[in-house]
């Protein structure tokens, strides 16, 4: 039995964020565990849900993707 790779998606544009989530949900072995609209929300969700991968936009409001990645390190 294989375990799915869990993914958190952070993107400020809702249509893009949900589109990526929908595409990833169709992939075998991938499970989307959350979506966030900014870097701050992504950091909070990542600490809560502990995804294997965080797919994040670089430019977002509140906290950009680079700063959010640094916070997750």
In order of their start, the domains of the chain are 7-72 (3.40.50.2300)
pLDDT for res 1: 57
Whole-angstrom Cα distance, residue 22 to residue 68?
Answer: 23
- What tokens does 18 get? 């949900």
Whole-angstrom Cα distance, residue 14 to residue 4?
Answer: 24
pLDDT digits (tens, 9 = 90+) for 29-68: 999 999 999 999 999 999 999 999 999 999 998 999 999 9
pLDDT for res 44: 97
The contacts of residue 20 (CB under 8 Å, 6+ apart) are 9, 11, 55
Q: Please, are residues 38 and 12 in contact by the beta-carbon 8 Å criterion? A: yes
pLDDT digits (tens, 9 = 90+) for 8-23: 999 999 999 999 999 9
């Amino acid at each position: 039995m294989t375990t799915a790779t869990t993914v958190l998606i952070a993107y400020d544009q809702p249509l893009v964020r949900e589109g990526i989530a929908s595409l990833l949900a169709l992939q075998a072995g991938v499970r989307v565990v959350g979506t966030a609209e900014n870097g701050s929300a992504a950091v909070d969700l990542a600490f809560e849900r502990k995804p294997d991968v965080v797919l994040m936009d670089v430019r977002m409001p509140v906290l950009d993707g680079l700063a959010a990645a640094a916070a997750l390190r």
